[in-house]
Amino acid sequence: MTSETMLTPEQAQQIVLAHVRSLGLERVALLDALGRILGVDVHASYDNPPHDNSSMDGYAVRYEDIANATPEQPAVVEMIEDIPAGKVGEKTVGKAQASRIMTGAPVPAGIDTVIRVEDTRADGSRIEILDPDELGANIRRRGEDMKEGELLIRTGVELGPGEVGVLASVQRTFVPVFRRPTVTILSTGDELVELEEPLEPGKIVNSNTASLAAMALAHGAVPVMLPTAPDDLHEIRRAVETALAGDFVVCSGGVSVGEYDFVKNVLDEMGAETILWRVAMKPGKPLFFCKVHGTPFFGLPGNPVSSLVSFLQFVRPAIRKASGHRSDDLLLPTARARMENSVSNQGDRRTYLRARLRFEDGWLHADTAYREQNSHILTSMLGANGIVILEIEQDVKPGDEVAVQIIGDVF
Ligand code: AMP
Ligand code: MG
């Protein structure tokens, strides 16, 4: 099969996404909603602030009484009431009168301005205003933050600390959020040993189950790690049947030519129809996607880096769609960066290079030379917070701009 007949990564992403639905909702306690995806539109249930209130400790006055005050010729008002935060003033401020008011307290009837305590001098209830500030000063208006009925947070928004605060302010103790998809992770291969098993000659340690589970967890899903399945039809069938308990199955290894047929035969036997197979990208060409009894099933390449790159391109968007993220927020964020090293793509597929990204002088800089870029070099994922995308025949030198995907925090 030539690269012309393979799907582009974009086509493959759209095909995968077309087969994924968002899951149902569950109600969680407010703080457990952090990092979750809101399942309903949330509106303001009242005006906030609920009342005009003072933004300073000071004196609530009628501006016309104090408009001409100066430090040399202060305006004199009589303090008639003390209004601490949480209390509503009982008296109406009349001519040449004032109420002492604390930050956040409702402004009393009759007043239009609050003078900061720093701009006054007090002698018992006799208050000298030294600076008139301006009409309306230091008053926060009712509804300035939110108006009753206003749409505050839309369905599909990931809830951060600010959103939790706004939900608290509209008195939501429980919040409907999208259910987190479960992802069962299955690695296949006779060469694999588990983490606690001795590394016999000819064997390698199964790192994919852990790294893919960590990916699933990092991107909002609940991973379920299955025991490694040997390259055996019967065992693979049993493992796949168990794996179908998840909302998604991610299977690593055995999809490139060779053992691919084991997994494929099992899936055929189970009546699964291949939805896509092979994508024009490096690493990650042998991508397999089908539905088994309605459950989306990803067959990722076995090479440790390939499986992670493929996960980020195809499984992550599927998890995000199932988790209720908005349709314009499913793919990895992209940016432009300046290369720090030379690199070229002489192959016949788009190349995804692990990169370390950092900010300097307002620019994003990308380094792809800190480690070998081969799909078995798992250590190239250490500190990788980006992926540089090189199109076919693209050559870049230090200082050239490239497209990057952001896969981790950038500092
Ligand atoms: P496969 O896709 O099964 O042909 O595997 C491709 C390469 O990835 C081989 O070198 C495998 O040994 C390696 N590999 C497959 N599965 C895993 C795994 N779970 N952990 C680490 N390496 C793996
Ligand atoms: Mg294998």
Listing DSSP states for 296-312 in one string gives EEEEE-SSHHHHHHHII
pLDDT reading at 90 higher than 70: yes
Residue limits of CATH 3.40.980.10 in the chain = 3-24+179-329
Q: Using alpha carbons, list the distances in angstroms from residue 394 to 91, 154, 213, 382, 390.
A: 76, 41, 33, 25, 6
Q: Provide the percentage of residues in the chain whose pLDDT is more than 90.
A: 94
Query: What is the token pair recorded at 163?
Result: 């959103």
Enumerate residues 6+ apart whose C-beta is below 8 A from 407.
312, 332, 384, 385, 386, 387
| 8 A C-beta contact, residue 341 and residue 314 | no
According to the model, what pLDDT value does residue 64 have?
97
How would CATH label the architecture of 3-24+179-329?
3-Layer(aba) Sandwich (3.40)
Distance 252 CA to ligand 1 centre (A): 7
The rounded mean pLDDT for the chain is 95
- Residue among 266, 286, 269 nearest 277 (CA): 286
* CA max distance for the chain: 97
| 133 three-state secondary structure | coil
More confident residue, 365 or 256: 365
| 8 A C-beta contact, residue 297 and residue 291 | yes
Query: What is the token pair recorded at 68?
Result: 């001409």
Q: Considering the domain 25-48+144-178 in this protein, what is its CATH number? A: 3.90.105.10
Distance 253 CA to ligand 2 centre (A): 4
Helices (H), 155-296: 161-169, 208-218, 233-243, 260-269
Give the whole-angstrom CA distance, residue 292 versus residue 264. Answer: 11
- Nearest listed ligand to the Cα of residue 300: 1
Burial state string for 386-409 with b = 16 or more CB within 10 A and e = fewer than 16: bbbbbeeebebeeeeebebbbbee
Vertex 346, ends 343 and 350: CA angle to 5°? 85
Task: Please state the rounded mean pLDDT for residues 387-402.
Answer: 98
- Residue among 198, 157, 148 nearest 39 (CA): 157
Which of 3.40.50.410, 2.170.190.11, 1.10.645.10, 2.60.120.620 is the CATH number of 53-140?
Answer: 2.170.190.11
Which residue has tokens 């990169």? 355
First-to-last CA distance in the chain? Answer: 42
Q: How confident is the model at residue 333 (pLDDT cuts 50, 70, 90)?
A: very high
According to the model, what pLDDT value does residue 265 have?
85
Residue limits of CATH 2.40.340.10 in the chain = 334-406
Give the whole-angstrom CA distance, residue 64 versus residue 44. Answer: 35
Which of 193, 197, 204, 231 should be mutated for ligand 1, with most atoms under 8 A from CB? 204
Give the whole-angstrom CA distance, residue 318 versus residue 216. Answer: 11
Q: Which residue, by CA, sits nearest to atom 17 of ligand 1?
A: 302
According to the model, what pLDDT value does residue 1 have?
45
Neighbours of 185 (CB within 10 A): 25
Which residue has tokens 């990208």? 281
Q: Which fold has domain 334-406?
A: Beta-clip (2.40.340)
According to the model, what pLDDT value does residue 254 have?
73
Q: Residues with Cβ within 6 A of ligand 1? A: 187, 189, 191-192, 204, 206-209, 252-256, 258-259, 301-304
Residue limits of CATH 3.90.105.10 in the chain = 25-48+144-178
Lowest-confidence pick of 54-68, 131-145, 205-219, 245-259: 245-259
pLDDT reading at 145 higher than 90: yes
Q: Using alpha carbons, list the distances in angstroms from residue 69 to 62, 73, 80, 132.
A: 13, 6, 20, 6
Burial state string for 168-184 with b = 16 or more CB within 10 A and e = fewer than 16: eeeebeebbbbbbbbbb
Q: How confident is the model at residue 246 (pLDDT cuts 50, 70, 90)?
A: very high
Query: What is the token pair recorded at 7?
Result: 């799907």
According to the model, what pLDDT value does residue 257 have?
63
| 8 A C-beta contact, residue 328 and residue 225 | no
Nearest-atom number in ligand 1 for the CA of 303 is 8
pTM of the model: 0.93
* Strand-pair partners of 401: 338
pLDDT reading at 302 higher than 60: yes
Enumerate residues 6+ apart whose C-beta is below 8 A from 119.
58, 129, 130, 131, 133
Nearest-atom number in ligand 1 for the CA of 206 is 20
According to the model, what pLDDT value does residue 3 have?
45
